[in-house]
Amino acid sequence: MTLIGADTKYLVVGLGLTGLSCVRYLMARGKWVSVTDSRVNPPNLTEVKTQFPDLDVQVGGFNSEIFAQADVLVMSPGVALRTPAVQAGIKAGARVTSDIELFLSEFTGQVVAITGSNAKSTVTQWLGEAIQRSGRKVLIGGNIGTPVLDAVDQSFDIAVLELSSFQLELLPKLGADVATILNVSEDHMDRYDSMVQYQQAKQRIYFGAKQALFNRQDLLTQPLVAPDVKVSSFGLNRPDLKQYGVLETPTGPCLALGFKVLLPAAELALAGRHNIANALAVLALADAVHNPLEHTLAVLRDFSGLPHRCQLVRQRAGVRYFNDSKATNVGSTLAAMNGLAQGDRKAIVLLLGGQTKDQDLGPLAPAIAANCKAVFVYGEDQLRFKTVAPEAVYLDSMFDALTQARTILQDGDLLLLSPACASFDQFKNFEDRGQQFTAWVEDNG
């Protein structure tokens, strides 16, 4: 990014962790900064006023005049570009940027960029740890972990960045060394007008990339980029030469590169067919940045996973309890159900519910019919599930659902919290939902 000049006026929009990191970064470089947030009491208001008492901070709504007076709008991803005040600033000539673009303007190492409707945090962390195993210094960030601008003054060999569609909207040209879309399923339909618009936002990850990796079993991930970009793929089917996939062998399915077996799927640390796909993405991305294969395979065998992502919480009396609170969309819940499916046995007792974000819930119906022994639905939008789970039990809270679900569990069953919904109707966030689920299971499971 080219800074406009010494008198450039930066308006930081949003005071979450990202916004706070942007304020620190710009103030440390002597820039003219002001801050705005639509909330009356944003989470970092006290901290920013304490650290920067003379900073102009306006909260409790967006004033279009403030946006129109700025030269650069430093956007937090949670604020939509279509917001009227933001549009007023853009029409007045303001440039839009973000913490990711500011970070990349100074970063000189390799960049791996990862997006997808589901599993992007898992793949980002898994890959980051695989590269760390080889001795390189790795920044794992973006939509996960420490805000990137809090680490901009440190030295890293490579940055592995998880990027949401909201973050990608703010990047005119990412220019990653290798970029991937893991999967695309309906999500954030409360912010996008259509699936096409959502897919287009995801496709921005490929802009300027040297290499592009896509999921050949999900056509929406295939890059629509210039033909001179190196393209490779991964998938759960048999791979072609120099592609990653699964080979069926007499001892079971194996992860493979072309016709070369690399690792029996049974040796992966994370269970489920969806995690075989995630592991294949890690292998392909690690290969693209020349990570030694032995280090990648070692981490595939011992990575413990991230909290709230199909996490085994407890096993008792033959029943396994899984916390998949991060499943805030239909695609993620489908991945969890299909990954944990027990063949023809309907072993899953599923907990759904929360805020549906205007998603199409229809794809859940066949998966529920094929895999679920019972379904319990709770929360604000519970009645929307009537068409896909008409025989489900409908209750007010997750704890009511847990209490009733517990009475039908038998040896061999799986209790799966995979809500397919946002959590804000009853919880602070998906982490809070997962923590409360875990605490209940540990006390009552």
What pLDDT digit, counting tens, does each position of 47-92 carry? 999 999 999 999 999 999 999 999 999 999 999 999 999 999 999 9
The sign of the dihedral angle between the CA atoms of 341, 344, 347, 353 is positive
Catalytic residue among 143, 183, 275, 278: 143
**Which DSSP state fits 355?**
B
Mean pLDDT for the stretch of residues 369-396:
96
Q: 426 to each of 188, 189, 196, 384, 397, how far by Cα in Å?
A: 19, 20, 31, 17, 8
Instruction: Give per-residue pLDDT as tens, 354-363.
Output: 999 999 999 9
The verdict on whether 323 is a catalytic residue reads: no
Q: Are 158 and 178 in contact (CB under 8 A)?
A: no
Among residues of the chain, what percentage have pLDDT more than 70?
98
CB atoms within 10 A of CB 39: 13
Stated pTM of the model = 0.86
How high is the pLDDT of residue 6?
63
For residue range 211-228, list pLDDT tens digits in order. 999 999 999 999 987 667
pLDDT of 130 over the 50 cut: yes
Distance between CA atoms of 236 and 254, rounded to whole angstroms? 10
What was the pLDDT predicted at 237?
A: 97
44, 118, 183, 188: the active-site residue: 188
Secondary structure class of 176 (helix, strand, coil): coil
Q: pLDDT tens across 385-408, in order?
A: 999 999 999 999 999 999 999 999
Please check the confidence at residue 314 and state whether its pLDDT lies above 60: yes
What pLDDT is attached to residue 5?
Answer: 58
Domain architecture of the chain: domains with CATH: 9-97 (3.40.50.720), 102-302 (3.40.1190.10), 311-444 (3.90.190.20)
Catalytic residue among 44, 118, 120, 183: 120
Structural tokens at position 145: 């972990």
Say what percent of the chain tops pLDDT 90: 89
The conformational region for residue 368 under phi > 0 = left, psi -120 to 50 = alpha, else beta, is alpha
CA distances from residue 3 to 97, 290, 325 in whole angstroms, order as listed:
11, 34, 41
